[in-house]
Amino acid sequence: MQPNEPLLAAVGFLAAVVVTLVDGRRAVTWASLAAALGLAPSVAASYGADGAVVLLAAAVAAGVAGVLSHAVAGRLPRVAGVDAVVPVVAGVEGLFGPRSIRVATAVLVLPAASWVSFNIPLGSASTISGVLFPAAVVGGCAGMRLLTARTVLDIAVGVAALGIAVAAAWFLSAGVDTLSSAATVAALAPGAAITSGWLRGRHRAVRRPAPTAS
């Protein structure tokens, strides 16, 4: 049975939307899960169920590892450093918010991902059916999130989603040592989650006590 390419493309597009817009202290986890769930169907249809399991396992590992690293770091004394959710290269307020910038750049990714999926041959992936579109659009939006990053968390989200997208593309291309190579790339997701969770717990801002009424 031929895979339903429009449905796979729609699922991949929704995953890319989440990767582009998600914010907050659990952003790496949600982005990883969205990328894995959005790309697992196309990988399962073209490569096999074991490929989809690798993507989903990387996303689950990212969620667990992020929570554990934050919990461990939170038990240590606070030290000065970069909080993962505090902007370090731009102010919090501005004419255009970070999500607006991400959406604007993600719009540019759509035609580029469509062109890549139909015109760039990648191993056994068909350039006619456009099977590469989900991986291309998720990877493109993750790359744009890296380029427009304002916080360490933005970088972690981009790295996690990009790792899963590249792993999916590797499965679709059926490259050398496909399973082990794709699993290695997908491991970027839990690695990014560990880094983000550790920084949030280790360098979190110290809350000043509220002034007491005299």
Write out the chain's pLDDT in tens, 214 residues.
566 778 888 899 999 999 998 888 889 999 999 999 999 998 988 888 999 999 999 999 999 999 998 888 877 776 655 555 555 555 544 434 567 777 777 788 887 887 777 777 666 555 545 678 889 999 999 999 888 888 888 899 999 999 999 999 888 877 556 788 889 999 999 999 999 888 887 765 444 444 555 4
Buried b (16+ CB within 10 A) or exposed e, 105-136: bbeebbeebbebbbeeebeebeeeebbbbbbb
Give CA–CA dist 145/118, Å, rounded. Answer: 24
What six digits make up the tokens of 88?
């370090």
Which pLDDT belongs to residue 152?
A: 85
- Residue type present at position 126: S
Q: Is 188 exposed, middle or buried (0-12, 13-18, 19+ CB in 10 A)?
A: buried
Residue 25 DSSP code: T
CA distance 117 to 139: 12
Res 90: pLDDT: 52
Region of 46 please: left (phi>0), alpha (psi -120 to 50) or beta.
alpha
- What integer pLDDT is reported at residue 207 of this predicted model? 47
pLDDT for the residue numbered 79: 63
pLDDT at 108: 81
Q: What is the pLDDT of residue 96?
A: 42
What pTM value is reported for the model?
0.80
Q: Give the integer Cα–Cα distance in Å for 29 and 202.
A: 19
Label residue 179 exposed, middle or buried (CB < 10 Å: 0-12, 13-18, 19+): middle
**pLDDT 10s digits, 180-191:** 888 999 999 999
